[in-house]
Structure 1
Amino acid sequence: MTRLLAGVRVIDLSQYIPGPFAAQILADLGADVVKVEPPDGEPMRRLGEVDEDGLTPGYKLVNAGKSVLRLDLKDEEGRRTFAELLSRADVLVESYRPGTLERLGFGRERLAELNSGLVHVALSGWGQDGPYRLRAGHDVTYMAVGGGLAISGTSEAPRMAFPPTADYAAAVQAALAAVAGLFHRGRGADGMLLDVSLMETVLAWQGPSLTAAARGTPLPRAGGMISGGAAWYQVYRTADDRFMAVGAIEHKFWHAFCGAVERPDWIARHAEPMPQHALAAEVAALFASQPLAHWAALFDRVDCCVEPVLDPTEVPDHPHVRERGQIRARDGLVEALFGLRVDGGPPALRAPVRDVEVAEIMAAWRG
């Protein structure tokens, strides 16, 4: 097990994907994470088809490694218990709309009174202030406003990504912020409020497209070097309706690709201006002439950044994924483990999510 954050106590007061995944990263790093849910549980428990235990696979996957405590924060006893947990915690991850914690009696001043060293990660769609602070949203709208959708997709229309990009990117951002906050606190500082926005996480990636637009040369959707305009950076359909991914950006890789498919006349065309529609059509015709197995076998022997697009059923059995031990199947779930190894050790395993009683957590956290 990875124990980099051993001894760190985390309260996960979030729901759905971003906050829970952020807290799971902290658990994967060794923190003790207690997820606090309302009496009826969080909606993700029942969002979609449920298993025999009454829980959805998505809920169990994103909350593995945590203990779950149900508290009614609108009730005086529930607030007392929550206040004691806060007094003993190192990190609070929450994803309420701004102002909700204040209405429950746990605004910044109250949190500071309870625990001056608390690292409070407030993860929200739009941030803690600004005109959109209370506006509803989901991944697709955060991507839309943050610039992540405009040049993604085909020439006809933007296309959403899966899994939801803003959700998972903001989760990583929130976990990184929490660890940085703990590091800062460890150097003698007090706790702090860390404001993490899903939209702004997406926005932070948009420097190149914003700069191009400001210079009057906006990046075209499906027309840029790595957005669909280059023949040597594309996804191509095979004869059996599968797909191959080509990422031969560097000239040496394109040269190797052209040699492998016996098309030396394509080598110099690497430098053709974007979009390279004519060349892409020729490469597409080539890939369409044979099934995926043919191309996978050919390029397995050639170092040129070309790989088959794997179906989710194929990923666990890929030789590299299997050798690295990144996938674990148990209890009808297929887990993708946190991609970190410490000193050559294996990835950290996660215990199943489990419901616990107040007494168990208090006994552990008072110790």
Structure 2
Amino acid sequence: MGPLAGIKVLDMTSVLMGPFASQALGDMGADVIKIEAPQGDLVRQIGPVRNEGMGPVFLNANRNKRSIVLDLKQPDGLAALRRLIADADVLMYNVRPQAMARLGLGYEEVAAINPLIVYAGLFGFGQDGPYAARPAYDDLIQGGATLPHLIARASGGIPRYVPTALADRIVGQTAVGGILASLLARQRTGRGDRVDVPMFETMVAFVLGDHLGGLTFEPPLDEGGYARQLSPERRPYRTSDGHICALVYNDKHWKSFLGAVGREALMQDARFATYAGRSRNIDHVYGELAAIFEQRSTAEWSAILERADVPFMPMHDLRSVLDDPHLQATGFFSTIDHPSEGPIRTMRMPMTWQHSRPDAARVAPRQGEHTREVLQQAGYAAEEIDALLAAGTAAQAPPHAAA
């Protein structure tokens, strides 16, 4: 039983930001009920599939959930959702708040059904500014939070987005913290709450924590930016046969590293002698390191850096990371049998607890796989469920042959 055992989460989110957050709650033991529209979560269609609607991005963001299909445009579908709300602990959504209001599912309406509920909205922009009603996606928020500008500034190239859904996942993880804080506050106060998690503000705070720099001060001391992170030489070092990721960072690292490679004299150079000196001359410092690393193989450098206690990691690709010895030893990756998809590779939750032990993961569900089960638990009789299914107000996954 995980630390959130007994917590019921209604997950109205789709695509990635919300599902990533609700999966984390499910990983911690919450009963997460994924409310899907008849057309299903769009992310089901992303990537190669064995069966329609079960793509890899969906599989990796929707474990530990049950799926129910309800058409909320029909009165009986909304009525079913309201019945589920009555005993839920959390309701999550990631459409614009205006859309929830049009459905009659604004915070006031939901709290009238269940005053104890934590009503969590993950959306683009804070609701007290001119962008409040705008739609938002990861790429747009990365741009607004300066990430493509910083990439261009660091590389001298064209602006680019980070090649992962960084904003979705960071905002999703931020939402987990906000939801857990609200549940804790509910224990003390006896009332639920509304928590808004805007993408734009969250990501601007995340990025500018590093890069506001001299713009922190009035008048500004510089044009902003963390020089070390923006150095064009800050990248994996080329070795004689590949690449390695190493960070010779503090004074201890530098003395140990230079001693290991017979370059102790560099510590007499003001550009290398102190952290402040290295920071002021970071492009030169990284350039010197790059020239040193080119002289030996990756395996040689791994042994040298290990002995010198200088931080380093391999530069993995998408295949080699699967064989990383640390991840293998910790059981991070495993292959499980999905009832409809056959053998699939999955990643375990990184966190562990001394006393709370989450149950074995529930695999990502087929669309509507648990519709009948969830409605039965909400008090619907079998004939009522049959009527909802016949009317198209609810839907359930068809029977499947074992993969």
- TM-score for both structures, normalised by structure 2: 0.82
**Whole-angstrom distance in 2 between the partners of 1:110 and 1:265:** 71
Amino acid of the residue matched to residue 200 of structure 2?
Answer: M
Larger radius of gyration: 2
Alignment pair present for 1:212 and 2:214: yes
Alignment pair present for 1:167 and 2:168: yes
Amino acid of the residue matched to residue 237 of structure 1?
Answer: R
Alpha-carbon spacing, 1:123–1:219, altered in 2? closer, same or farther (3 Å): same
Alpha-carbon spacing, 1:140–1:53, altered in 2? closer, same or farther (3 Å): closer
Tell me the matched-pair count: 362
Equivalent residue runs for 1:72-151 within 5 Å: 72-151=71-150
> 1:340 maps to which residue?
351
> 1:225 maps to which residue?
228
**Whole-angstrom distance in 2 between the partners of 1:33 and 1:214:** 41
Residue by residue, what CA displacement relative to the aligned partner does 1:5-57 show, whole Å, maximum 9, x if unpaired?
Answer: 00000011111111001000100110000101111211111123322354211
> 1:321 maps to which residue?
327
Contact 1:337 1:347 survives alignment (8 Å)? no
Amino acid of the residue matched to residue 45 of structure 2?
Answer: R
Contact 1:57 1:333 survives alignment (8 Å)? no
- In structure 2, the residue corresponding to 1:307 is in which secondary structure? strand
Alignment pair present for 1:292 and 2:298: yes
- Structure richer in helix, relative to its length: 2
Bigger shift: residues 88-97 or 206-215 = 206-215
**Whole-angstrom distance in 2 between the partners of 1:165 and 1:38:** 26
Amino acid of the residue matched to residue 308 of structure 2?
Answer: V
* TM-superposed deviation, 1:136: 2.8
> 2:393 maps to which residue?
none
Greater RCO (CA < 8 Å, at least 6 residues apart): 2
Alpha-carbon spacing, 1:302–1:327, altered in 2? closer, same or farther (3 Å): farther
Alpha-carbon spacing, 1:340–1:347, altered in 2? closer, same or farther (3 Å): farther
**Whole-angstrom distance in 2 between the partners of 1:357 and 1:347:** 21
Bigger shift: residues 252-261 or 95-104 = 252-261
Residue by residue, what CA displacement relative to the aligned partner does 1:203-247 show, whole Å, maximum 9, x if unpaired?
Answer: 2222453352243334666x7134437x7x65212233x322222
**Whole-angstrom distance in 1 between the partners of 2:235 and 2:173:** 27
* TM-superposed deviation, 1:326: 2.0
% same residue: 29
Residue by residue, what CA displacement relative to the aligned partner does 1:165-216 show, whole Å, maximum 9, x if unpaired?
Answer: 2111101111111111111111133111100011111122224533522433
Alpha-carbon spacing, 1:323–1:347, altered in 2? closer, same or farther (3 Å): farther
**Whole-angstrom distance in 2 between the partners of 1:219 and 1:243:** 33
Contact 2:107 2:119 survives alignment (8 Å)? no
> 2:390 maps to which residue?
none
**Whole-angstrom distance in 1 between the partners of 2:111 and 2:292:** 64
**Whole-angstrom distance in 1 between the partners of 2:179 and 2:246:** 37
- In structure 1, the residue corresponding to 2:132 is in which secondary structure? coil
- In structure 2, the residue corresponding to 1:88 is in which secondary structure? coil
Alignment pair present for 1:61 and 2:63: no
Alpha-carbon spacing, 1:237–1:137, altered in 2? closer, same or farther (3 Å): farther
Unaligned runs of 5+ in 1: none
Amino acid of the residue matched to residue 356 of structure 1?
Answer: E
Amino acid of the residue matched to residue 121 of structure 1?
Answer: A
Bigger shift: residues 313-322 or 338-347 = 338-347
- In structure 1, the residue corresponding to 2:228 is in which secondary structure? coil
**Whole-angstrom distance in 2 between the partners of 1:346 and 1:90:** 21
